[in-house]
Structure 1
Amino acid sequence: MGELFTFFGVISENHTYLFMSHMLLTALIVIMLAKMATKSLKVVPGGTQNLMEAYLQGVVAMGSDVMGREKAMRYLPLVATLGLFIGIANLIGVIPGFEAPSAFLDFTLALALIVFIYYNFEGIRRNGVVEYFKHFMGPVWWLAWLMFPIEIVSHISRIVSLSFRLFGNVKGDDMFLMVMLMLAPWLLPMIPFALLSFMALLQAFIFMMLTYVYLGGAVTLHEESL
């Protein structure tokens, strides 16, 4: 977004440069948080370790409601990493002088493709190719010719849904913040800042929940057929 001042934009306004610089900054913050949380692990956690453990327990609890605790733990590394990465990426955009990497469609589309490819891979790996694609045909065999293409389109549309939901919400938040900073003094937008921070975390939560839902639907086919 060229109208919005960014510190990195002082060097260049190139779209790719702005996207990569803010994405790398996000990755650096996530790595630093992980290092701080694990550098001196204690039985009684404190500081960053306590914060990260609470976060991981929350992610497991979220996944347990969808697919059970055992499966939620299995996919915890993927979902928790996505949530932390997206959450930090969204929050960066709330800070004046920075732009959220998730306000770039390149970022959200890449994450959506990762989730799409992975949950289909897991579904095939755990159920077999035939069994996995068999559930695309629906419960009534004589409607398989209709249900199969509908299911394929439905699954592909998840890429659009995941990527554009996150991109659209964060892009809209960035534009709202830009307008607030142009119209109001620095102290006045405190309430919008708090609201945008909440929305940034909410979008990360939604992305994690949908990832668990898609994974749960892909790996539990044999249980559904029992």
Structure 2
Amino acid sequence: MKDLFLFSDLIMHSHTFNYLFHLFLVVAIILVLAKLATSNLSLLPKGLQNIFEAYVTGVASMGAGVLGSETLARKYLPLVATIGLIVVFSNVIGIIPGFEAPSSSLNLTLCLALCVFLYYNFEGIRKQGVIKYFAHFMGPNKWLAPLMFPIEIVSHISRIISLSFRLFGNIKGDDLFLAVVLALAPFIAPLPAYALLTFMAFLQGFIFMILTYVYIAGAVVVEEH
């Protein structure tokens, strides 16, 4: 599988370089599209502006459903929407022959998972205070606190592993599946595979975004439960 052609190999044959090349390419594509979508804003959106507005509205609606507040959903919209764009474009670019998905590397998925983990804990502590925030880790019964607290700590840390390895494992598996299909039948057979992998690329982005909202909700609206 390592012998598959990559355009980045024409510049330098290095795993680290390949990862950074495709990551910067994804970021550049997102920035260019965002610039084009906002360069000529109009009250009647069309083209890229329409697509980006639909995306932002959809992410905000998802957040309102999870957080129970449209205001809170819009507050965390920049983080969640940006993560969604990075994940989706990182997934999709790996489907194109000659390119590699940055999300098939733990370097990216682990960084995104750590960003989410640190951010929602920071928001929970900022809103509730250190004592009140960690008091929720001890459960409703003080006699069970010595047992519940370490369980909650492990549960929260496991979210880093869950977020990073879910995305990494799925995209890495998709890449290997596509490589096998292309090697066995490079012309007709890959067409259904492309459709399936494109769907999976968007699905993984959706899952990452909604889990981010769920973790934020658990940190900032926990006092309402």
TM score, norm. by length of structure 1:
0.97
Which is further off, 41-50 or 179-188? 179-188
Using the alignment, how far apart are the partners of 1:141 and 1:188 within structure 2? 60
The amino acid that maps onto 1:25 is L
Q: Deviations over 1:91-141 (max 9, x none)?
A: 000000000000011110000000000000000001111000000000111
Match of 2:206 in 1: 205
Using the alignment, how far apart are the partners of 1:15 and 1:156 within structure 2? 28
C-alpha displacement of 1:64: 1.1
Q: Deviations over 1:163-218 (max 9, x none)?
A: 00000000000000100110113233111001000000100000000000000000
Match of 1:43 in 2: 43
Whether the 8 Å CA contact 1:90–1:170 is kept in 2: the answer is yes
Whether the 8 Å CA contact 1:2–1:13 is kept in 2: the answer is no
Using the alignment, how far apart are the partners of 1:195 and 1:9 within structure 2? 27
The amino acid that maps onto 2:28 is L
C-alpha displacement of 1:4: 2.7
Segments of structure 1 that go 5 or more residues without pairing to the other structure are none
> Is 2:180 aligned against 1:179?
yes
Match of 2:66 in 1: 66
TM score, norm. by length of structure 2:
0.97
- Computed over aligned residues only, the root mean square deviation of the Cα atoms, in angstroms, reads 1.0
SS at match of 1:40: coil
Match of 1:13 in 2: 13
Using the alignment, how far apart are the partners of 1:202 and 1:76 within structure 2? 18
Segments of structure 2 that go 5 or more residues without pairing to the other structure are none
Match of 1:53 in 2: 53
Whether the 8 Å CA contact 1:22–1:98 is kept in 2: the answer is yes
Match of 2:140 in 1: 139
The amino acid that maps onto 2:167 is L
Using the alignment, how far apart are the partners of 1:186 and 1:82 within structure 2? 34
SS at match of 1:107: helix
Using the alignment, how far apart are the partners of 2:182 and 2:61 within structure 1? 38
The amino acid that maps onto 1:63 is G
Using the alignment, how far apart are the partners of 2:54 and 2:114 within structure 1? 28
Q: Deviations over 1:41-65 (max 9, x none)?
A: 0000000000000011110111111
Using the alignment, how far apart are the partners of 1:3 and 1:145 within structure 2? 53
Using the alignment, how far apart are the partners of 1:221 and 1:8 within structure 2? 46
Whether the 8 Å CA contact 1:83–1:204 is kept in 2: the answer is yes
Using the alignment, how far apart are the partners of 1:171 and 1:12 within structure 2? 22
C-alpha displacement of 1:10: 2.8
- Paired residues for 1:152-167 under 5 Å: 152-167=153-168
The amino acid that maps onto 2:60 is V
SS at match of 1:96: coil
Using the alignment, how far apart are the partners of 1:221 and 1:120 within structure 2? 12
C-alpha displacement of 1:26: 0.4
C-alpha displacement of 1:222: 2.4
